[in-house]
Structure 1
Amino acid sequence: MESMSSIRSEIEDHLSSSGYTLTTFGHLSGMNRGSLSAILHGTPPKPIAIRQLDIITETLGYPEGWFYHLYLDECFAGTKVSRRRLEPYLIRCAELNKEECLKAAIVRLLETPKPIGILFDIGEKLYQKGRIAESALFHEAVAEMEKDSHSERLAISQYRLFMGKQGPDAEENWKAVIRFEPFRKRLPENHQLDALLKLANVCFTLHKWKEVEKYSDELRALAQAVYREQLRRKVREKSCEVLDTERHLVVYYGQGYLLKTVALQKQDLYDKAKKYVTGYADLSWFENLNEIGWMEVKKFKVWARANAYTLEMLTGNIDILPDYCQFLQDHPEEILPGLLTIVESANKYGFYADPVIEQCSQVIQKLNNQNPIEVDRHYSYRYQLSIYHFRKNQYIEGIAHILVALKLAYLQNNDRDVIQSVTLFEAYRAHASEQQKREYQLLMEEIRSKEKGYPTVGRRYHFA
């Protein structure tokens, strides 16, 4: 560990080698000469604020954070911590991606008598500033150090870690769900609403329909309880305190019904699912709706119509297809889930819908495959569309779509979907063109190389 004078010695050496006196450097940097003298020569020396260090660094012409590896001693005096200096320093370290400085600070904090509160507070400040990866270092330390399993800080830290783990990798997402799930009910209500919605959405992309049901039931119950309490308080105290949540309360209420609908639909429990559509079809009765709230109510109204069409199609009511197509034209954001419903119903009930598929194909081509739910729907659409073409003996077209589905499954690291796609391809391999067989072989080599943990020999493959 550097001594307390090392950062001052370093600064003085650089001032001397650059030919600066305190007076000339003070004029150049805009810092008071007396302050510089107190910092460098005081007995004891005056602590350096991180902003002052940044000014010194900039004036000397060095990159930002040049002296940061020496600054940590400014923040500690034995086992005492100067949060006034430590917190700005760590936020700047995060902004400059100085991970080693952050890790060193955590080690020093763990040597102090009560480090968990400071670790948690810094983690929260970094998280709120969008420094998710850096905040995880501090939340992970809290998760490891906190002995009280019912601690609110522990639950929030686990929630932050769960949120930071979300990405395109299905396996990693499921691991994150398993780790966080036991802590969800220990969160404050505002975080709990957000957490239940996120858990349900993640499980949606993983096709864990029983889990989607469970979290949507919990979300619906909590949103209703919060809403009733707000109404009681409004009557009793003539005030309406709003929880600090990411979304308007009506979103959690409506999503509790919507996600329940989808979970039941995916389990072929169509009649039960229809009962929940009415729960979010018209939420205009919801009190305390602001402009954002009213926009959300309008969205739920559209989604309810879309899901009502979906359930009718999946139960064999093909007569509504013209109305459904008009609905999709009026609401192009619903085209992907709508086409999936139409193609799935066509495969289930033996009809064809070529004009609809052709009309909407351009929208599907423009998908950016960024949103996990959108990627999941895109995969399901391609998989169902391949079956649709095989029914028509259009083997080349069917295989082309199953190859796209296989790429999407691989990008999500979704073993179930990869196996499903491979099985379907192998069933129709004899009908594949030589080019399609080569493309399939390259995909399988890429998948196998990832499983074995080493790069493919001699070449790299990239998917469009």
Structure 2
Amino acid sequence: METRKTTQKSIRSEIDRNIKENGYTLSKLSELSGVNPGHLSEILNSNPPRAITIGQLDTLAKVFKKAPGWLYELYPEECIAEEKISRPRLIPYLVRCAEIGRQDCIDVVVSRLLENPKNVSILFTVAEQLFQTGGKAMSVPFYQLVIETEKDSHSDHFLISQYRLFRALQGTSPEDNWKAVTRFEPYRNRLSEHHQLGALLHLANACYMLQKWKDVEKYADELRTLAIAVYQDQLSKKESGKMDEMLHTERHLVVYYGQSSLLKGVALTMQEQYEEAEKHVIEYTDLTWFELLDEIGHKEVKKFNIWGRANLYGLNLKKGNVSILSEYVAFLKEHPNEILPGMLTIIEAANKHNFCIDELLHRYSANLSSFHDHQNPINLSQNFHFWDQKTEYEFRKGNTSQAIDQLLMCLDLSDKMTYHQGFKRCVTKFWKHLPHATNEQKDRYEAILEGRV
């Protein structure tokens, strides 16, 4: 108890000292900070003093022109006294420590908290707040602490931490993505249904990025089975008037059902199983039969219709039906968001069936160049594969110098994406065509390999 008094006196004496140095009254400090004057008086003068919130401390730091994190090392005693822990003060404090990088303060508090394993729920709440407010990277150490501390591997805290950790590690290198997939996979079926739907979708998407088509199929099949079961259960609850028991998911339920068919279709297409893929594409092209659709659900159904129509055109092209190309191009003009995936499909088909698309490439040259600005992982992947196919197209047409320029662009892009398989493929292609490379192209190749671009 004596330690707590001393520390409180220290944190308050610092505030007192700054009040005097600036010549403020409590009334003036309240005016500048927005903190209630009565609260300020109770914080500084009451016995025992009123606890100060981390938000109030941050506000006073701004008034006194102090750096973020002022007096944070003294703040734990506002939250922890003997056996008592104030969650309403401690959780926001740990969140703020993570946001401004005060790992020293986090370490001190965590050490004290974990003297009692039951306090792991506090660390889980901090992780969830960080994750939900965009601080996925900052949430990782807290989820890891929960996983290391929680003894019950079937508890919600443990399983959700595994799921969130998997989500937080997405978008790094392909190798790290695959490690995240294999680490999380054993826990996917232990999650509650609303988390499991999201988990299976994210697993399938991660494997899509890694081009592991058999794994995409596996997770898409699991997602379809679960989505159908949940859908039937929700219909039953609606019919029996149990609306209060309806499931609340991250995305609309129709998304999980539609994506299961979409991802299955993509995986089969990439394995050149076009007839089987077409069945799945047709399925998600028309989801108007799906009940339980609200305004968001109807918008999602329209998206699936557009994607399905685009992919049916793509399947026909890949099967060699070049006659539908003009119809497909008209569709892309009507739906410009589909130009990048559409042009990727078209150029793959052109390379496979040896037809010319020079006029089309010229028409969309400005659109294709702008795709470099798209930074989400799926767009980056599509961007790389388009220019990789464009390289093949130019080599086939005999435009060697242009092909090598685009090959170097692919090499640079695969390096920035840490896409090692693509990087190796580009290096192999460059050496194959090395005799035709100019000195400038050779210099650029070396600069990319040495990290000078």
Structure 2-normalised TM-score? 0.92
In structure 2, the partner of 1:292 is 296
Give the counterpart letter for 2:153 in structure 1: S
2:387 is equivalent to residue 382 of structure 1: yes
Inter-partner Cα distance in structure 1 for 2:41 and 2:391: 76
User: Displacement, 1:405?
Assistant: 1.3
Residue 392 of structure 1, aligned match among 388, 397, 401: 397
Offset from partner CA, 1:105-144 (integer Å, 9 cap, x none): 2222112351222221222123222222332222110011
Distance 1:148 1:399, change over 3 A: same
Contact persistence 2:252–2:296 (CA under 8 A): yes
Aligned length: 446
User: Displacement, 1:50?
Assistant: 3.0
Inter-partner Cα distance in structure 1 for 2:234 and 2:14: 63
In structure 2, the partner of 1:371 is 376
Residue 336 of structure 1, aligned match among 327, 335, 340: 340
Give the counterpart letter for 2:258 in structure 1: G
Distance 1:380 1:56, change over 3 A: closer
Residue 435 of structure 1, aligned match among 414, 437, 440: 440
Offset from partner CA, 1:27-50 (integer Å, 9 cap, x none): 222367876665456555443333
- Runs of 5+ consecutive residues of structure 2 not aligned to the other structure: none
Distance 1:98 1:244, change over 3 A: farther
In structure 2, the partner of 1:452 is none
User: Displacement, 1:406?
Assistant: 1.1
In structure 2, the partner of 1:405 is 410
Distance 1:13 1:145, change over 3 A: closer
In structure 2, the partner of 1:116 is 120
Contact persistence 1:79–1:111 (CA under 8 A): no
Inter-partner Cα distance in structure 2 for 1:240 and 1:324: 45
| 1:296-307 pair list within 5 angstroms | 296-307=300-311
In structure 2, the partner of 1:28 is 28
Contact persistence 2:43–2:51 (CA under 8 A): yes
Contact persistence 1:190–1:244 (CA under 8 A): yes
In structure 2, the partner of 1:15 is 16
2:224 is equivalent to residue 220 of structure 1: yes
Residue 280 of structure 1, aligned match among 271, 284, 287: 284
Distance 1:66 1:194, change over 3 A: same
2:427 is equivalent to residue 422 of structure 1: yes
Offset from partner CA, 1:361-394 (integer Å, 9 cap, x none): 2111001141211111111111111111111111
- Runs of 5+ consecutive residues of structure 1 not aligned to the other structure: 447-460
Distance 1:318 1:59, change over 3 A: closer
Distance 1:27 1:37, change over 3 A: closer
Inter-partner Cα distance in structure 1 for 2:308 and 2:18: 72
2:269 is equivalent to residue 268 of structure 1: no
In structure 1, the partner of 2:450 is 445
2:93 is equivalent to residue 92 of structure 1: no
SS at match of 2:194: helix
Inter-partner Cα distance in structure 2 for 1:178 and 1:192: 16
In structure 1, the partner of 2:7 is 6
51-60 vs 319-328, which deviates more?
51-60
Inter-partner Cα distance in structure 2 for 1:222 and 1:342: 34
Distance 1:14 1:296, change over 3 A: closer
Offset from partner CA, 1:64-88 (integer Å, 9 cap, x none): 4311111012211223312122123
Give the counterpart letter for 1:92 in structure 2: R
Give the counterpart letter for 1:6 in structure 2: T
In structure 1, the partner of 2:165 is 161
In structure 1, the partner of 2:155 is 151
SS at match of 2:157: helix
Inter-partner Cα distance in structure 2 for 1:105 and 1:133: 20
SS at match of 1:114: helix
Distance 1:71 1:260, change over 3 A: same
Inter-partner Cα distance in structure 2 for 1:244 and 1:417: 39
In structure 2, the partner of 1:245 is 249
Residue 187 of structure 1, aligned match among 191, 207, 211: 191
Inter-partner Cα distance in structure 2 for 1:298 and 1:260: 19
121-130 vs 276-285, which deviates more?
121-130
User: Displacement, 1:417?
Assistant: 0.8
Inter-partner Cα distance in structure 2 for 1:60 and 1:399: 59
In structure 1, the partner of 2:203 is 199
User: Displacement, 1:424?
Assistant: 1.4
Give the counterpart letter for 1:244 in structure 2: H
User: Displacement, 1:18?
Assistant: 5.3
In structure 1, the partner of 2:110 is 106
Inter-partner Cα distance in structure 1 for 2:67 and 2:194: 41
In structure 1, the partner of 2:54 is 50
Inter-partner Cα distance in structure 2 for 1:442 and 1:263: 36
Contact persistence 1:168–1:372 (CA under 8 A): no
User: Displacement, 1:419?
Assistant: 1.1
Offset from partner CA, 1:157-184 (integer Å, 9 cap, x none): 0111111112252222122112111111
User: Displacement, 1:284?
Assistant: 0.7
Inter-partner Cα distance in structure 1 for 2:18 and 2:219: 64
Inter-partner Cα distance in structure 2 for 1:17 and 1:82: 27
Inter-partner Cα distance in structure 2 for 1:176 and 1:371: 18
Offset from partner CA, 1:391-426 (integer Å, 9 cap, x none): 111101111111111112111111111111111111
Contact persistence 2:188–2:196 (CA under 8 A): yes
Structure 1-normalised TM-score? 0.90
Give the counterpart letter for 2:125 in structure 1: D
Identity %: 46
Distance 1:32 1:395, change over 3 A: closer
Distance 1:59 1:420, change over 3 A: closer
Distance 1:83 1:312, change over 3 A: same
Contact persistence 1:230–1:240 (CA under 8 A): no
